[in-house]
Amino acid sequence: MDKPWNNKAWFMVLPVLVLVAFSAVIPLMTVVNYSVQDTFGNNIFFWVGTAWYEDILASSRFWQAMGRNLAFSGIILAIQIPLGIFVALNMPRSGWGVPVCLVLMALPLLIPWNVVGTIWQVFGRIDIGLLGYTMNSLGINYNYVSDPVAAWITLVLMDVWHWTSLVVLLCYAGLVSIPDAYYQAAKIDGASRWAVFRYIQLPKMNRVLLIAVLLRFMDSFMTYTEPFVVTGGGPGNSTTFMSIDLVKMAIGQFDLGPAAAMSIVYFLIVLLLSWVFYTVMTNYGRDS
């Protein structure tokens, strides 16, 4: 006789569903509502359909901001993933050095985003900042306030300093989970350091690398606080990413309809690119 199905268990999930609906679904529906209407205040709305979406997708301002986002995320991934793997490979596996290294790696992750931006804003100043003053003392023209290249270098260095530790910790967790028997077999076969990495360590890190790439891509593509604190989107619009441009449109210009449409497009782009990353890396791990 089959055991009767107990539907009462669903009542345990209801609080979670209510919380998700309140914190995610309802605000999303509100944004969707604003994206297809226009308002002049007094809670009076006018239906405009897909007009705001058409304006956003036809705007060079939107595509330029998206290009800056993609370039920044590409640079971040190209630096942090290899650097994180390298640091994780050289961390101790036993002894007193393990907790010391783990604590040092975790420290940058504990600092709030706005504090990180403030630290690097001061650090890069040419009058009192250690980085800016030193660079100019050496005869290198560095000023992130007026030079777009310097501004980009500052933002990249700041993000690398802040978030590479996350990649390191994930990779280290994958490395320590590898049984010693694999290394012993490789040693007996006379495998080189590169062969051990290529055929033992890298395949065993596939899953954690997938998580690291997805997390770092999504976070870097949606970055806002740190670049806003350091450069404010300048000089000019050289560091105006989509998140900064969205806030300027919604709060600075009070264009709620276009801002809502842009936020929906922004969300769909992040969702699509994350799905592409996940699909490609999952299939690669399965094939290998």
What pLDDT is attached to residue 28? 82
Buried b (16+ CB within 10 A) or exposed e, 144-180: bbeeeebbbebbbebbbebbbbbbbbbbbebbeebee
| Average pLDDT of every residue of the chain | 87
pLDDT digits (tens, 9 = 90+) for 22-61: 777 778 888 888 888 887 767 777 888 889 899 999 989 9
Average pLDDT value for residue range 3-27: 74
Q: Which residue has the higher pLDDT, 41 or 203?
A: 203
Residue reference for tokens 């975790």:
106
Task: Kindly state whether residue 49 falls inside one of the protein's structural domains.
Answer: no
Task: Kindly state whether residue 266 falls inside one of the protein's structural domains.
Answer: yes
Task: Kindly state whether residue 13 falls inside one of the protein's structural domains.
Answer: no
Closest residue by Cα to residue 144 from 208, 226, 59, 239: 239
Average pLDDT value for residue range 19-23: 77
d(CA 242, CA 6): 47
Question: In sequence order, what are the residues at sequence separation of 6 or more whose Cβ sits closer than 8 angstroms to the Cβ of residue 37?
Answer: 45, 46, 47, 48, 257
pLDDT band at 84 (very low <50, low <70, confident <90, very high): very high
The answer to whether residues 173 and 167 touch, using CB atoms and an 8 Å cutoff, is no
pLDDT band at 88 (very low <50, low <70, confident <90, very high): very high
Q: Is the pLDDT of residue 172 over 90?
A: yes
Task: Kindly state whether residue 54 falls inside one of the protein's structural domains.
Answer: no
Task: Kindly state whether residue 75 falls inside one of the protein's structural domains.
Answer: yes
Task: Kindly state whether residue 34 falls inside one of the protein's structural domains.
Answer: no
Cα dihedral sign, 153-156-158-164: negative
Question: In this structure, what token pair is assigned to residue 71?
Answer: 């370039």
Ranges 6-20, 97-111, 116-130, 245-259: which has the least confidence: 6-20
d(CA 154, CA 94): 35
d(CA 172, CA 242): 33
What pLDDT is attached to residue 5? 62
Q: Which residue has the higher pLDDT, 9 or 47?
A: 47
User: Is residue 1 exposed (0-12), middle (13-18) or buried (19+ Cβ within 10 Å)?
Assistant: exposed
Q: Is the pLDDT of residue 214 over 80?
A: yes
Q: Beta-carbon neighbour count of residue 223 at 10 Å?
A: 22
d(CA 23, CA 6): 29
Residue reference for tokens 């268990």:
9
Residue 67 carries which side chain, given as an amino acid letter? G
Task: Kindly state whether residue 53 falls inside one of the protein's structural domains.
Answer: no
Percent share of the chain, pLDDT over 70: 95
Q: Is the pLDDT of residue 286 over 70?
A: no
Instruction: Using alpha carbons, list the distances in angstroms from residue 89 to 58, 211, 284.
Output: 47, 18, 22
- 93: helix, coil or strand? coil
CATH label of the domain that carries residue 101: 1.10.3720.10
d(CA 152, CA 166): 21
What pLDDT is attached to residue 42? 72
What pLDDT is attached to residue 165? 94
What pLDDT is attached to residue 139? 87
Q: Is the pLDDT of residue 2 over 70?
A: no
Percent share of the chain, pLDDT over 90: 36
Q: Beta-carbon neighbour count of residue 226 at 10 Å?
A: 22
Residue reference for tokens 């899953």:
207
What pLDDT is attached to residue 65? 93
* Domains contained in the chain, number: 1
Task: Kindly state whether residue 41 falls inside one of the protein's structural domains.
Answer: no
Range of the domain at 96: 60-287
Eight-state DSSP code of residue 59: -
